[in-house]
Chain A
Amino acid sequence: MTSDNNHYDAIVIGAGPAGLTAGIYLSRARVKTLILNEGVVGGQMVLTHEIANYPGVESISGYQLANIMKKQALSFGCEIKSNIKIGDMDMNGNIKKVVLSDGTQFTSDAIIITTGGRSRTIGVPGEEKLKGHGISYCATCDGDFFTDKEIIVVGGGNSALEEAVSLTKYASKVTIVHQFNHFQAFEHAILEAKNNPKIDFIMESTIAGFNGDERLESVDIKNLKTGEVYNRKIDGTFVFIGYVPNTEFLKGKLDLNQWGEIVVKADMSTSIDGVFAAGDSITKRFRQVTTAVGDGTIAALAASSYINEIKKSK
């Protein structure tokens, strides 16, 4: 059952910079707004140690900027529920419905989806079990645990190559494993990695499995050209294979592109009336805090206009 208290003018799903901005704009316009967030408020922004290119703010940590945005949204009356799990959504029709995994239901006239993205994992046996026990996704966090040890870096983009170079400060040897015969990184990053004597490369290969009981002991490497799988002893593995949009729950419900990004028009409206999207989960080239904030603003203004029309027609 949904009580009147659980009906909002707008529900924003996600509390990164796009979602918090939408919450600020909507609440300030006296649009009754609820932000539902499956993770920590701030999204990917909180993971940024220093933001020095956010106009008007010389330097701030992502965590602090997220806290200010949250405070701002709350001050205008926006409600925020974080670390929840969404069970189901019905976005068709004039009244949209969101059901949490604990059965709580919320309804709204409009929805703004700002679910962002997350680091991609390899998804092979042993990965979940050995995370934190030899498998890492953050060089600055865990690099020093691998001092004088041999490690593998998986990936071929800028993050993988730059982090591989930074990990040579600690590791005795770094092997980059990449699925293609070329890298996607910028030329300077490729050159820096190739010129580093501690780094070698295994191309056209992927990790097929991680082995070890209490800590990572070896990996299974699959040669994608020959299909051969062989075992290699290793102390650690760092994974940098890009980001995926958090849109799995939207498959079949609204238009996504081939990469799972939400297709939006210039006003951030989606293929469903009254459903808008903003931030890293939409189709776009540049993903920055500033672009997310811009998207969130546009989505909020468009949603606000949509809600006013709906209210007028009632």
Chain B
Amino acid sequence: MLYTNLKHIESAADHAKILSENENVMVICGRMGPMCIPVYGIAEDLEGEYSHVKFFDMEFDNPESHVIRNLPEVRGFMGIPFTIYYKNGKVVKATSSIQTKDQITTILDKEFGAPVK
């Protein structure tokens, strides 16, 4: 179980629904481990600022996370979390393992646009 403050994706059906209903989505697929927790924390901090992006997490060991684990974009990934950025339901970027806030905001700004201040 992921006990973060992010919204959780529990099933492949949830995942499909979220992608169909939202233009900009970031999903962090991981465990409660040292490489994943910092990424959840950064996403929690950015949720308010990037109101045009929907942030979610999904448990890596949930069998339903095959929707992420089987993406062609994560082939070769050997470190969690798998962080996937979707635009209109399509994967525009995927990263493996821990990321810094700068790395994440660079991707968010490039793929979804910087937040209006």
Contacts and interface: CB of A to CB of B under 8 A. Distances in A.
A142 B45 contact: no
Interface residues on B, range: 20 to 34
A47 B41 CA distance: 12
A133 B79 CA distance: 6
Contacts, number: 86
Given A63-B3, A145-B79, A215-B78, A136 B97 contact: yes
Contact of A142 (B32, B35, B40): B35
Nearest to B41: A40
A133 B38 contact: no
Interface residues of A, number: 31
Contacts of B35: 132, 136-138, 141-142
A41 interface: yes
Contacts of B97: 131-133, 136, 142
A142 B4 contact: no
Nearest to B38: A40
Contact of B78 (A49, A83, A136): A136
A40 B46 CA distance: 12
Interface string B18-41: 000000000000111111111011
A133 B3 contact: no
A64 interface: yes
A11 to B, nearest CB: 19
B79 A136 contact: yes
A95 to B, nearest CB: 29
Contacts of B3: 61, 63-64
Given A40-B37, A138-B33, A133 B96 contact: yes
Interface of B: 3-5, 30-38, 40-42, 45-46, 76-80, 95-98, 101
Interface of A: 39-42, 46-47, 49, 61, 63-64, 67, 82-83, 119, 131-138, 140-142, 145-146, 214-216, 236
